[in-house]
């Protein structure tokens, strides 16, 4: 079962990789790491994934690392496009 906290990424024809969205630590293969502090970790200098994956953005074609994109709304978009998407829904009201 795939929960909301996980994203399934197809990396080749027969291989799927599950990425935990809760914290980078959930995807890390390092054993002696001290970065985990009980809260959500989305950036870590010691991060070591089980698989190295690079994704191509559906929108702009940029190559990005989905592990550093775990907080994104759409895992098939690069961080920049996710940021743009986030702002899309904003309504700017002019008070003049």
Judged by the rule CB under 5 A, the positions of this chain that interact with Zn ion are: 57, 59-60, 62, 78, 81
Q: How far is the CB of 81 from Zn ion (least distance, A)?
A: 3
Q: How far is the CB of 80 from Zn ion (least distance, A)?
A: 5
| HEC assignment per residue over the chain | CCCCCEEEEECCCCCEEEEECCCHHHHECCCCCCCCCCCCCCCCCCCCECCCCCEECCCCCCEECHHHHCCCCCCCCCHHHHHHHHHHCCCCCCCC
In the complex with Zn ion, the residue whose CB is nearer, 25 or 81, is: 81
In the complex with Zn ion, the residue whose CB is nearer, 60 or 73, is: 60
Q: How far is the CB of 56 from Zn ion (least distance, A)?
A: 9
In the complex with Zn ion, the residue whose CB is nearer, 5 or 80, is: 80
In the complex with Zn ion, the residue whose CB is nearer, 63 or 94, is: 63
Q: How far is the CB of 75 from Zn ion (least distance, A)?
A: 12
Do the Cβ atoms of 40 and 23 come closer than 8 Å? yes
């Amino acid at each position: 079962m795939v929960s909301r906290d996980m994203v399934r990424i197809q990396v080749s024809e027969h291989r799927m990789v599950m990425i935990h969205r809760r914290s980078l630590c959930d995807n890390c293969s390092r054993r002696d790491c001290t970065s985990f502090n009980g809260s959500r970790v989305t950036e870590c200098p010691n991060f070591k994934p089980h698989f190295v994956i690079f994704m191509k953005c559906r929108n702009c074609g940029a190559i990005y690392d989905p592990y550093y994109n775990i907080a994104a709304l759409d895992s098939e978009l690069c961080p920049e496009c996710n940021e743009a998407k986030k702002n899309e829904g904003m309504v700017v009201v002019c008070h003049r």
